[in-house]
Structure 1
């Protein structure tokens, strides 16, 4: 009978992928990525939006007396006007708002005084041929962004406290620590991408950061619920170590995690690539980008980081440590028995002449326990 394909074995939870057993490799990769992210925080910092850095925003209509302006034309004109008003000022990329006759371009610049704004608008009227009343400007203070940041940090702390309390009550403190570590890794890596690539941080980005926390937690709880089911009463047996039972749970929920992640990323990808890319909605870009990056890291961290961290913590527990040692010792003894049996059998004997010894080797990663009936035991009744 042909062996089922990888897709079939993934859906059945029998892919036998050794994820938890390679936890040292995952921890090394995670540590390297975190160090890169922290290095970027220190060296590059973040590209703060006008709401956080403060500044002046200019809005210019896309159509002027039958002529359609391009983003490049508006960007160059605003940059020239702002630098003439204040040589030390700078501008950011142009964003298009709206479509058709109502379309306009928004350009953010450094903070300017009222006189400097008037001078810049006069230059734009001359260079672009736009009426002065159609060019709007607004001043944004950095203090507003500071308040948003304070509220976001407060919300994050409250969320994490509630999450830890729930996980301790629902599972145990080690699972709470593993889930919290996964959430922190997700946030740090997402922030690292923003720092490395230079994506602008706006209030929509902050909202997206808080949103991905709940999504990441959902996937981790699904995996941990299966781990709890597989490890309930594990110390009463001697067939699997805690890490092997955890790895089985990861294999059994792997396809669910991947499907959930794909289903969640598809609409977010549409929001990002269609709404922001094709339609030019700048706000959708800020929100969609952080959701897309954060959810992607959330799926990966729940599979390859949260469960290995839990396994590493549980292996330090005295009861689990003793159980693991007992399982490994039993396997070693049975392996020795098989080796001695091979030495004493006739030269012309075949493998079928040697009695099979259940549990003589470690279960394959992700393998399910074998079902045995009493009628198949030596001397048992059929």
Structure 2
């Protein structure tokens, strides 16, 4: 019953969960996570894919001589072949591409010279018993990855500028700053998870990062729209402070944010855990991880970070600061008036210690109960 009551209050926006009031705790948690992420950037750094780091890519068929090859078989064979050509070279994980007879495994290795690549290819043909024409190698330059990075950074800057301009026009400057802080937090934490897990950074990762920006912005705008509705004309004489009105807006949109986030995370989770995990579609895991983590952080930051940052910024505004002071002073005065009404009575007094007032119907302890008069009997009425 309690859980159903809480669920109904959440859907009605009446749960009154104190989220904005605990903003110092949320800021502390966010700061700790950001420090962990930055530490991972410095210590572990990122596992750059072949598109960004450059290297040699080998494509091997999934079946050879009537035998089906597994990812581990191909990865071990390519590792032996690459090591024989260049002992200092290393490889990444094997990724399956396609299905059925046309399925192949792609294995990325560090950059090899043309002669080393040919030597490694000959070793693969001999080791796996595969036709040489079915094994291909491609040299990828890091310059292409650098170009992709530059274009992604330019796109990110343009996106953030347009977002800030839209939020200033649609809402106000402080809301734009809070939304931008939330977006940057999503990016840093998602990149931190990527660094800690050790997934390769590929062009799919860059696309995923740009995708989560739009999703995070959508959820923040939903919350801020309700905040603007609740705080419109608040300084004219409201009984709530700005933080309390913001917290009410967060509660009123809480279930909408959670439901929207859950609906968005389900297909992305299927892409990550089923497509990349169970089916072995390695090309999907880069995009799946960045979307899953980024959308999850986007939902949490819009609730636990964006609104508290907005309330902290607005509380520094002179008009809002004066309004908050009036509301709190009014509450203090009201509490003092209530306290003065009971001040003449000792705190440990009981009903038996208070003398009966004239005309009081409360009997004294030990007194015999008096017969109740019948006020309806008029003079001359005969009693029965």
Task: Tell me, yes or no, whether TM beats 0.5.
Answer: yes
Q: Find the aligned partners of 2:2 and 2:66 in 1 and give their Cα distance.
A: 70
2:239 corresponds to 1:239 = yes
Residue equivalent to 2:372? none
* 1:232-271 matched pairs, under 5 angstroms: 232-271=232-271
Cα offsets for 1:239-260 (capped at 9, x unmatched) = 1100000000000000000000
C-alpha distance after superposition, 1:13-49 (max 9, x if no partner):
0111000000000000000000000011011100000
> Would the alpha carbon gap of residues 300 and 318 (structure 1) be closer, same or farther in structure 2, given more than 3 Å must change?
same
Instruction: Give the 3-state SS of the residue equivalent to 2:343 in structure 1.
Output: helix
The residue number in structure 1 matching 2:39 is: 39
Aligned-partner Cα distance in 2 for 1:29–1:244 = 21
Structure 1, unaligned runs of 5 or more: 350-382
Q: In 2, distance between residues paired with 1:134 and 1:155?
A: 39
Measure the CA separation in 1 of the matches of 2:297 and 2:229. 26
CA change 1:176–1:320 in 2 (3 A) is same
| CA deviation after TM superposition for structure 1 residue 83, in Å | 0.9
Segments of 5+ residues of structure 2 without an aligned counterpart are 353-384
Are 2:95 and 2:283, in contact at CA under 8 Å, matched by a contact in 1?
A: no
Alpha-carbon displacement from aligned partner over 1:221-264 (angstroms, at most 9, x marks no partner):
00000000000010111411000000000000000000000011
Q: CA deviation at 1:323?
A: 0.5
Partner of 1:309: 309
Task: Assess if the C-alpha contact under 8 Å between 1:14 and 1:251 holds in 2.
Answer: yes
Q: Secondary structure at the match of 2:59?
A: strand
Distance 1:127 1:238 in 2: 79
SS of the aligned residue for 1:105 comes to: strand
1:364-379 equivalences under 5 Å are none
For 1:53, the equivalent position in structure 2 comes to 53
Deviation at 1:267, TM superposition (A): 1.1
Q: Could you tell me which residue of structure 1 aligns to residue 23 of structure 2?
A: 23
CA distance in 2, matches of 1:127, 1:65: 12
DSSP 3-state at the match of 2:52: helix
Q: What's the offset of the Cα at 1:307?
A: 0.1
Shift of 1:101: 1.3
Residue 4 of structure 1: CA displacement?
6.3
Q: 2:351 aligns with which of 326, 334, 348?
A: 348
Q: Name the residue aligned to 1:331.
A: 331
Match of 1:64 in 2: 64
Question: Do 1:97 and 1:280's aligned partners in 2 also have CA atoms closer than 8 Å?
Answer: no
* Residue 69 of structure 1: how far off its partner (Å): 1.2
Give distance in 2, aligned partners of 1:247 and 1:2.
22
Query: Aligned pair 1:111/2:111, yes or no?
Result: yes
Task: Give how far 1:2 is off.
Answer: 9.0
Q: How many residues align?
A: 349
> Which residue is 1:366 aligned to?
none
Q: Distance in 2 between matches of 1:213 and 1:300?
A: 14
Quick check: 2:183–2:217 contact (8 Å CA) kept in 1?
yes
TM-score by length of 1: 0.89
Give the RMSD, CA atoms, in angstroms: 1.5
Report the TM-score when normalising by structure 2: 0.89
Which structure has the greater CA radius of gyration? 2
Give the Cα–Cα distance (whole angstroms) in 2 for the partners of residues 39 and 145 of structure 1.
24
Alignment match, 1:150: 150
